[in-house]
Structures are given as structure tokens and as C-alpha cells.
Amino acid sequence: MPIARLDGVRLHYDTYGAGEPVVMVTGTGAPGRMWRTHQVPALTAAGHRIVTLDNRGIPPSDPCADGFTLADMAADVAALIESLGEGACRVVGYSLGAIAVQELRLARPELVRAAVLMATSGRTDALTAAMTAADLELVEGDGKLPPRFAAYVRALQNLSPRTLNDEERLRDWLAVFEMTAVDRSEIRGQLGLQLIPDRLAAYRLIDVPCLVIGFQDDLVVRPHLSREVADALPNSTYAEIAGCGHYGYLERPAAVNAAITDFFAAAGP
């Protein structure tokens, strides 16, 4: 279990495959192993060495119970890239992880050579603000929902109608969600970090090649928010994956993986 002590914070990471590294950053409450089922096999087969990170607040990385910021998350990714000793890397971010990658590219432009930004945004809209306020209010209680209740709420928020209407697939998803129910009090440090000011003007300074991926049926980060980021980035391509919700990289992994590998191949060494 590789653990790096970076700027005083213990961060857990895993590496897979050989070649030039691709650092992958997950979203709120998600461990790095979320990439392992679908993205790691596809990207290593394409010749990349994959480095997945458990963001601070996600065990076994340090909990940082006193709180932390989006800038801290970006600095963690910067420190991890520097520890690899190979210069600028390709970086993939999802949801909150994608926002952290955007901030990383602004703060440490020399460390990112190309970026894939999935389910990202450049500002806080009214629905995001309302969802976050509700999550924080829940945490101020005991932070716990009955696992079966939490599973169906998670399904409604994160899956597409295509999956919700497929009863066999839906039963599988509900079982997984029930077994992996998240105690929101344990991820208190990450909640609220997506409440960002409008950063779209600042993102015009990000000039490396970027692929922005939106998910057609995403109710958490609606795809128009991701398209706004793509429109702000001067050297970007936007791709929208149909038939999937916020968990698009798990619902339609083949389409997502093809978009990533094709983008990296086109972006060059």
C-alpha cells in the first residue's frame, strides 16, 4: 500500500501498468479504487501507467479533520506529480476531482500537459448550492441515512433513465449502493468544496489540450455546466456521452474510455 507523505499529509495512491503516468483524481467521497474496474484496464492496455489517488479525507489517506480547501486538494495532486519525478503529466479528474485539476492547472501550469475533465463545472448554480446545503445540514445531524433509503436516492441522483428502467441492472446497482453506503459525516471535509465562485474567466488561461466530458442524463452536474467549462478553455474539445448519468464512467465505461484514449493519442507525447 503506497503511502506518500506530501507536504505533511499522508496520501495513499496506487500505480498500474507501465509507461508515462496518467494521474486520476476522483470526486466527492470516492476512493481511488473507483477507477480500477473499467478505466485502469483500458488505459493500461493503451500503454499508460495509471496512478490513482485517495484524496485527503478518504481512508487510508489522512482525514484532515480540521478541514481543507479545494486549493489543498489541488496542491496534493501537484505534490504527487512532483513525487513521480517525471515532469508534467496527463491528468484525469471527475466531478470535484475535475474542479481540483482545473485549479491545479492554474496554480501549477508546469505540471499538467493534458487534462480530461469529466462532469465538471466552473461555477456554482442554484441546484448545486441547494444540494450541498442539504448535504451539510444532514451532516450536522448524525449524517446517516438507512442504507436502503440511501441506495435509492443515490440511484435516482446518479444513474440514467436507461439504467433505472432496466430492472435487472437496477437491482444490481441498488445492491452495490446499499453495501457501499457512505456515512456523510466521514467525508465532511469534502462536502461544500464544489461551492466555487464563477471561475470561467480564469479558466481562459488554461491553454493545454483538454477534453471535457459531460454525461447526457447527469442530474448532479448537468452537462450544460461542463460545456461552459469547455467553451471557456481555449484549447478544448467537448464530448457528451449519451445514456448515462453522473456515474457515466461506470454506466458507459467503453464510450468514456474510448474518448479518453483517443484524446490522449491525438494530443501526442
Catalytic residues: 95, 218, 246
Contact yes or no for 210/116 (Cβ under 8 A): yes
d(CA 38, CA 40): 6
Which three cell numbers, joined as nine digits, stand for 73? 486538494
d(CA 74, CA 100): 5
Handedness of CA 260, 266, 267, 269 (dihedral sign): positive
- Phi and psi at 246, nearest 5°, equal -60, -30
d(CA 151, CA 157): 10
Three-class DSSP category at 29: coil
